[in-house]
Structure 1
Amino acid sequence: MDSTEAVAVRHASDGVAVITLNRPERRNALNLDIKARIADAILTLEADTSVRVIVLTGAGGYFIAGTDIAEMEPMSPAQHQTLATDRMFTVLRRCPKILIAAVEGYALGGGCETALCCDMIVAGEGARFGQPEIRVGIMPGAGGTQRLLRAIGKYRTMKLVLTGEPLTAAEAFQAGLLSEIVPDGSALDRSLAIAATVASMPPLAVQAIKEVVQLGQDVPLDTALALERKAFVQLFDTQDQKEGMRAFLEKRAPEFKGR
C-alpha cells in the first residue's frame, strides 16, 4: 500500500477487495475528504462484478477514532445538509455486497458507526467501541443510536450513548455487537479468511441472505418469515442450486457461477 494514499483499495484474493483508511497521524479520523473517498471506493467496487466481499480496515493499529472535530465544530445544520456529511454512511448502508469491518484499536463515534454499517465485525482483543459524541455536546448522527439499539438493545445502548464510555472488545462481543474476537494485529487476516469463504459461496444465495436479513430486522416476524420463504423458494430456480445439490450428492466440490 502506498503510504501516502489516504484511502487505498486493493484486490486481496478472488472476489475479495480491501479498503484501507491510512491517516495514522489522526488515528484515521474521518473528515469530508476521507468520507468522500471511501464512498467513491465502495461505489466503484459495487460496479466491479469480480468483487463479492469488501473488507474495510484502518492502518497504523487503529480502525477509525472518530470524526474530525476540528472540521465539524463550526458547521451549521444547513452545511451538514449541503455537504451531505452522511453520504458515506448512506453508501455503506445501501451497499449490496458483503461488508466486513476489520477493527484494531479505536472504533469510536463515526468509526463505530462505520463498523455498524457492515455485515460482520471482526475485532482485535484490544479494540474499543463507543459513541462519545455526547461529551462534545452532540449525539450520534449516522446510525449510532438506531443500529446499536437493534444490535444490543435499549439498555446497553442508552448507557453507551449517554455516558460516552467505550466497550472493550470482550464487552462488545458479549453484547452481540461483534462477529468474532481475535488476537491483536490479526483482525485483517481473519477478516480476509472469512471474506474468502463467503466469496466462494453461491453469489445469488449470498445476495438473498443479505437482503432478507436487512429487510427482515425492521418488519414484523410474520412479514420477515414470508420474505425469507420467498427468497428460499426463488433460489430453486438458479443453476447454483442445482450445482450445489448435485455436487453434494456426488461428493465433489461445487462450482458456483452466480446464475
Structure 2
Amino acid sequence: MGLKELSPKYFKIEVEDNVGIIKLNRPPANAHNLEMLRELDNIIVEARFDDSVKALLVTSNVPRFFSAGFDINEIKEKPPEYIGLSSQFSKEVMLRMMSTKKLIIASINGHCMGGGLELALACDLRFGANSEEIKIGMPEVANLALIPGEGGTQFLARIVGRSKAIYLMTTGKTLTPKEAYELGLLDRLVEPEKLFEESFNFARQVAKGPALAVGFAKLAVNEGMDLPLYSAFALEREMQNQALASEDAKEGAKAFFEKRKPIFKGK
C-alpha cells in the first residue's frame, strides 16, 4: 500500500509530483487525540517506505486553524493514564518524523497553538501565512498549569534558546507569524493567498532534486545535534558514504564534467 491509498479519518491525503500532502482534518480546530496521533504515525510510516513520495507537506484542511493542539476535552473525559500515554506516543511520532529521510515542511495557514506548534516544530521547515489574525504559542503553563507535553520544551529551547523558551512558556505569550519568524520559529513568511502554492512549490523542488541527499543531510543534523562532536563527525561521514554510493551522486558528478544540469531521481 502506498501513501495515497490510505483513508484516515482525521486527515486528507494527496500525492502530487512526488510530494505527499498531509492535511489535518478534525474540525473545528484540528485538536488531536490519541486516535489522530495513531493515524499520523501510520501516515509517516507509509510515506517513509513509499518510493513515489520524495517530500512531505503538512497543512490544514480546516478554516482558521492549523492546529489548536491536544484536545482539552480528553483531559476532562479520560483518566490521567490515558493522557500520559497520549503524551508519550506523541513524542514517538515526533521522533519518527525527525528520523524519516524525507523533508517534512509545515505550511501553517491558521492558529498554531500548544501541541499544534509542537507538531510544526517536529517538521524540518515551517512556512507561515503573514497574517496578524493568526496566533502562535504554547499556553499550557500559563493557562492550564501543565507543561508542553509533546516535545515542546525541547523543540522550543533548541530553536529560540533556553531563556526565550522559558519566557514564552511561562507567560503563555502568543505571537504573530511575523514575531515567530523573527524568533526563528518560522523559516518563511508568505502572503496568505500564496502560502500553499509557495509551500508546495518548495516541496516539489525538493522532490525533483537530490531528495536522498537532502534526507541524509537532515539525519546528520537532527541526530548529530545530540552527539558529542567527534561522534557527530562520524555520523556525518557515514551519511556521506551512503550519499556517495547513490545513483544521484554519480549523476551529479557526471553532469558536472559534462557541463549540464543533473537529472536526479532521489535514488
TM-score by length of 1: 0.89
CA spacing shift, 1:197–1:93, aligned 2, 3 Å: same
Query: Quick one: which of 173, 176, 191 aligns to 1:183?
Result: 191
Letter of the 1:37 partner, please give it: E
Q: Distance in 2 between matches of 1:214 and 1:131?
A: 22
RMSD: 2.1
**Which residue of the partner structure matches residue 5 of structure 2?**
none
Q: Distance in 1 between matches of 2:67 and 2:37?
A: 11
Instruction: Number of aligned residue pairs: give it.
Output: 253
2:30 is the counterpart of 1:22: no
Letter of the 1:7 partner, please give it: F
- Kindly indicate whether the alpha-carbon contact (under 8 Å) linking 1:93 and 1:118 is maintained by their aligned counterparts in 2: no
**Which residue of the partner structure matches residue 56 of structure 1?**
58
Q: Distance in 2 between matches of 1:47 and 1:239?
A: 18
CA spacing shift, 1:40–1:229, aligned 2, 3 Å: closer
TM-score by length of 2: 0.86
- Deviation of 1:221 after TM superposition, in Å, equals 3.3
**Which residue of the partner structure matches residue 129 of structure 1?**
136
2:85 is the counterpart of 1:78: no
**Which residue of the partner structure matches residue 3 of structure 2?**
none
Letter of the 1:87 partner, please give it: F
CA spacing shift, 1:204–1:22, aligned 2, 3 Å: closer
Q: Distance in 2 between matches of 1:104 and 1:24?
A: 14
Query: Quick one: which of 8, 12, 34 aligns to 1:8?
Result: 12
- Deviation of 1:89 after TM superposition, in Å, equals 4.2
Long gaps (5+) in structure 2: 1-7
Deviations 1:202-256 (A, max 9, x none): 2331221011011121223343234324433443333321211221332323222
Letter of the 1:177 partner, please give it: L
Query: Quick one: which of 35, 40, 43 aligns to 2:42?
Result: 40
CA spacing shift, 1:45–1:157, aligned 2, 3 Å: same
- Deviation of 1:88 after TM superposition, in Å, equals 4.2
- Kindly indicate whether the alpha-carbon contact (under 8 Å) linking 1:61 and 1:185 is maintained by their aligned counterparts in 2: no
- Deviation of 1:86 after TM superposition, in Å, equals 3.9
Query: Quick one: which of 139, 156, 171 aligns to 1:148?
Result: 156
Long gaps (5+) in structure 1: none
CA spacing shift, 1:77–1:155, aligned 2, 3 Å: same
Deviations 1:90-117 (A, max 9, x none): 2242131221110022110010000011
Q: Percent identity?
A: 37
